[in-house]
Amino acid sequence: MTALEPREAGAFMHHLGRRLDAEFGRPRAVLMVSAHSTARMPVLLAGTRHEAIYDFGGFDPRLNTLRYDAAGAPALAAQVQALADSANVAMHSVDQGGLDHGAWTPLRYLYPEVDVPVLPMAFVPSQSPAQQFALGELLAPLAADGVLIIGSGSITHNLRLVFGGGQPPAIDEPEIAASKAFRDWLVQRSAARDWDALLDYRARAPHGVDMHPTDEHLLPWFVAAGAGGREAAPLRLHASLTFGSLGMDAYAFGPQAARLAAPA
């Protein structure tokens, strides 16, 4: 629903797109890792064109009228495949396109002109945060080659807390204690570069399993973190909330992350 009700997160993403341009220039492509594109091994959607996929039901029908018809990035797919092959990492490409809602929703705010090619990469949801981090490390060289790597998910994601009672809470409901404790912990452990704790968040974070009954919505965070590297502390750029428990936080990774946090 962020696509129709932007609130603070939509406003942030719109500003972030302009800030990225100002600080780094328009990327030659976006490599998108979304919580809603998963597979049995990493898969690159290397089609020459993408359209929005409406991979949901029961929401406002206006969502099905929103489009994001973006160019694909087959040359980038070949580059990523070569990185994987050289590291003996199982990965393959398919000549197909399509952007799930975890991809096109933020992209509509970041690059509304639809002028940046996109390479979606499906990840393996059964793999651990450490394995996702290693996948991100494989992608790290792309950042120096004009590629923006985005992990799209949700910093907290327990939909039973939202819909389990039948009537969802108010969209501006005050934050529940478990959500705050988890989000605060993630900020603190990130600032300390405590990778041991972060990669073991389900055991070490307060309410880690409650906030992520299944963890596919947090795993893209670890891919992006791996691309940023261990030496750079993940930096929270934005913090907001919907329905009292769905965190909309956004992080930047890598040694230049602070350039996005400085006043415009």
pLDDT digits (tens, 9 = 90+) for 61-95: 988 999 999 999 999 999 999 999 999 999 999 99
The better pLDDT of the pair 34, 4 is held by 34
In angstroms, the CA 104 to CA 245 distance is 23
pLDDT at 263: 60
Task: Answer whether residue 264 shows pLDDT above 60.
Answer: no
Main-chain dihedrals φ then ψ at residue 14, nearest 5 degrees: -65, -45
Label residue 51 exposed, middle or buried (CB < 10 Å: 0-12, 13-18, 19+): middle
- Sorting pLDDT into bands at 50, 70 and 90, what band is 262? low
**How many percent of the chain have pLDDT more than 70?**
99
| pTM metric for this prediction | 0.95
| Whole-number Å distance between alpha carbons of 74 and 63 | 28
With both helix axes pointing from N to C terminus, report the angle between 129-139 and 74-86 in degrees, rounded to the nearest 10: 110
Q: How far is Cα 211 from Cα 233, in angstroms, rounded to an integer?
A: 22
**pLDDT for residue 57:** 80
Domains of the chain: 7-261 (3.40.830.10)
Instruction: Express each pLDDT in 211-260 by its tens digit.
Output: 999 999 999 999 999 999 999 999 999 999 999 999 999 999 999 999 99
In terms of DSSP H, where are the helices of the chain? 7-24, 74-86, 101-110, 129-139, 159-163, 177-191, 195-199, 201-204, 208-211, 219-228, 258-261
At 138 the pLDDT is 97
One-letter amino acid of 183: R
Phi, psi (deg, nearest 5) at residue 50: -125, 150
Do 251 and 237 form a contact (C-beta atoms < 8 A)? yes
Average pLDDT, the chain: 95
Cβ atoms of residues 251 and 190 within 8 Å: yes
The percent of residues above 90 in pLDDT, for the chain, comes to 89
